[in-house]
Structure 1
Amino acid sequence: METPFPPFDPEGRPRPRFGRFGKVPLRVLLPNLVTLLALCSGLTAVRLAIEERIELALAAIVFAAILDGVDGRLARALKGTSRFGAELDSLADFVNFGCVPALMLYFWGLNEAGAFGWTAALAYAICAALRLARFNVMLDDPNKPPFAADFFTGVPAPAGAITVLLPVYLELIGLPHGRVSALIALLYCLAIGFLMISTVPAWSGKTLGRRIRRDMVLPLFVVVAIFFALLASYPWVVLSVCTAIYLALLPISTLRYRRLMAAWRAEHPAAVASAD
């Protein structure tokens, strides 16, 4: 019996004129469901920000960022990657980590700067869109050296969303909020947006956790448990410290990338010549 819904094909192949599609494995759908859950969390953050429940809004954004890290790893672990999933993930990232943080910052205090505040929020969202578009294009680059998978070109969108909300964390810790802090947040918002579209190599962490030494498994469990306990108890302090550490590590990852690139070019002059 025919249903009123079009058949789902994760690879986007044209629908055959006759016949039916086969069944889709559940392992292909699970990562997409996680992505949709992250999207729901991000959109809910906007509602919470409008209702001035900023703490819950921040929690929703952090939850969306965690789910964004889970869906890709889940897809690779289950061998459920697909074109549909990649496109859905990119669109969800733009909403969750481009539009939502910009709106949250505007409702929080950028509106006190008038049109300049809205311009800064708009610029950040546009930078997030450009960052994601460039990331999708660079996935197909065949000339990337092997170590390039360990680095992002520019700050990734989820990290940009977490770091750009630093002014809100600081206010929740106890720093005063006023027109001066709104102007500083405006400049900070623009700086994070430009870092997202820059060519600064940012460590990706994709290879982290693929293989763990047996003697390090139990200490890892303890460290993760302590981190989440601190995050639950002192969320704004932990997020502020993590943001500061991440920004401080950008120059270090840049130096590391340049050294690896120089060594790779010295070992592969033919590949460098063909790329030029």
Structure 2
Amino acid sequence: MAGPFPPFEPHGGGGPRIREIPLRVMVPNLITVLAICAGLSGIRLAFEHRMELAVIMVLIAAFLDGVDGRIARMLKASSKFGEQMDSLADIVNFGVAPALVLYAYLLDRAGAIGWIAALLFAIACGLRLARFNVMLDDHERPAWQADYFVGVPAPAGAVLVMLPVYLGFLGMETSRSVAFAACAYTLVIAFLLVSRLPVYSGKASGSRVRRELAIPLMLGVVFYALLLASYTWLTMAVSAILYLASLVWSVRAYSRRAAREAKAGDETAG
């Protein structure tokens, strides 16, 4: 007898039908669902004026949404269903939730302009995610360019756009003039999302660490986690500012790499 719910098809209907689903296949999808719940809960908390908890929930959502795909690959549990779930969750957790939390905290003081800025950020995030999905099928892209994102990635955009909130928690006033400045900042982040700016990702070359750097790296991660736990909003604000500053380095590194690759190509052709 058929139950009230349709059967879970991890292959999206395109793979072999299996009677029982391994639990490891469901784990990444459960993480994705929890990320959506965290993002939507952050929106609710923001409109209840419980701002610090709202921002924490949005950051948790962004973190979970950023690691579910990696966990799926680690568990060898990737599926078409999971890919579609993850794509749909991204727009909520990286676009809608940060925009609405920022609007509830500050942008609403700018009136309609604040809403337009929040809306444009969410739309830019959706466009960024759509372009990312399309570029996954671009097999003509040079292999070395896999080390760079095209535009600021959506998870980073979600963290960056809430910089005014971090500064507000640190004591910055939330006046109407500051709200207009935050609108301009939100539009800048939206532009960075959809831009062609090369942003270093380290996906191709950052999967291995030299032996002598392993312990310093672990200590650095622990130190950052302790700073995050002890000085949460100051650490988030400084991290966002340093990330924005690193974009200049990323562009310069990309230009130098492109010049080297072009020179090597000319020498090979010659």
**What is the TM-score with the length of structure 1 in the denominator?**
0.90
**Offset of 1:219 from its aligned partner?**
3.0
Which position in structure 2 is the counterpart of 1:134? Answer: 131
- Preserved contact between residue 144 and residue 204 of structure 2 (Cα < 8 Å): no
Which position in structure 1 is the counterpart of 2:5? Answer: 5
CA distance in 2, matches of 1:168, 1:214: 39
**Offset of 1:215 from its aligned partner?**
4.1
**Offset of 1:25 from its aligned partner?**
2.6
CA distance in 2, matches of 1:259, 1:14: 43
- Preserved contact between residue 110 and residue 117 of structure 1 (Cα < 8 Å): yes
- Preserved contact between residue 152 and residue 201 of structure 1 (Cα < 8 Å): yes
Q: Which amino acid aligns with 1:249?
A: S
How many residues were matched structurally?
Answer: 269
Q: Trace 1:169-188 onto structure 2 (pairs within 5 A).
A: 169-188=166-185
CA distance in 2, matches of 1:79, 1:13: 19
Which position in structure 1 is the counterpart of 2:38? Answer: 41
Which position in structure 2 is the counterpart of 1:212? Answer: 209
Q: Which amino acid aligns with 1:5?
A: F
For the pair 1:56 / 2:58, whether they are aligned, the reply is no
Cα distance per residue 1:198-247 (max 9 Å; x no partner): 00011224357632344443333322222111111111100011001100
Q: Trace 1:148-227 onto structure 2 (pairs within 5 A).
A: 148-207=145-204, 210-227=207-224
CA distance in 2, matches of 1:171, 1:187: 16
Q: Which amino acid aligns with 1:146?
A: A
- Preserved contact between residue 173 and residue 237 of structure 1 (Cα < 8 Å): yes
CA distance in 2, matches of 1:99, 1:46: 9
**What is the TM-score with the length of structure 2 in the denominator?**
0.92
Q: 3-state DSSP class of the match of 2:261? A: helix
- Preserved contact between residue 7 and residue 21 of structure 1 (Cα < 8 Å): no
**Offset of 1:12 from its aligned partner?**
1.7
Cα distance per residue 1:32-63 (max 9 Å; x no partner): 11111111111110011011111111111111
Cα distance 1:232–1:34, how it changes in 2: closer, same or farther (>3 A)? same
CA distance in 2, matches of 1:15, 1:253: 41
**Offset of 1:29 from its aligned partner?**
1.6
Q: 3-state DSSP class of the match of 2:137? A: coil
For the pair 1:235 / 2:232, whether they are aligned, the reply is yes
CA distance in 2, matches of 1:266, 1:10: 46
Cα distance 1:208–1:70, how it changes in 2: closer, same or farther (>3 A)? farther
Q: Which amino acid aligns with 1:6?
A: P
**Offset of 1:26 from its aligned partner?**
2.4
Cα distance 1:250–1:135, how it changes in 2: closer, same or farther (>3 A)? same
In structure 1, the gaps of 5 or more residues are none
CA distance in 1, matches of 2:205, 2:28: 20
Moved more, 179-188 or 251-260: 251-260
Q: Which amino acid aligns with 1:171?
A: G
Q: Which amino acid aligns with 2:250?
A: S
Cα distance per residue 1:98-139 (max 9 Å; x no partner): 011111111112111111111111111110110011111000
Which position in structure 2 is the counterpart of 1:80? Answer: 77
For the pair 1:68 / 2:65, whether they are aligned, the reply is yes
Instruction: State percent identity of aligned pairs.
Output: 52
Q: Trace 1:83-98 onto structure 2 (pairs within 5 A).
A: 83-98=80-95
Q: Which amino acid aligns with 2:199?
A: A
Q: Which amino acid aligns with 1:152?
A: F
For the pair 1:112 / 2:109, whether they are aligned, the reply is yes
In structure 2, the gaps of 5 or more residues are none
CA distance in 1, matches of 2:28, 2:188: 32
CA distance in 2, matches of 1:108, 1:215: 45
Q: 3-state DSSP class of the match of 1:23? A: coil
Cα distance 1:58–1:205, how it changes in 2: closer, same or farther (>3 A)? farther
**Offset of 1:24 from its aligned partner?**
2.6
Q: 3-state DSSP class of the match of 1:202? A: strand
**Offset of 1:250 from its aligned partner?**
0.7
**Offset of 1:146 from its aligned partner?**
1.2
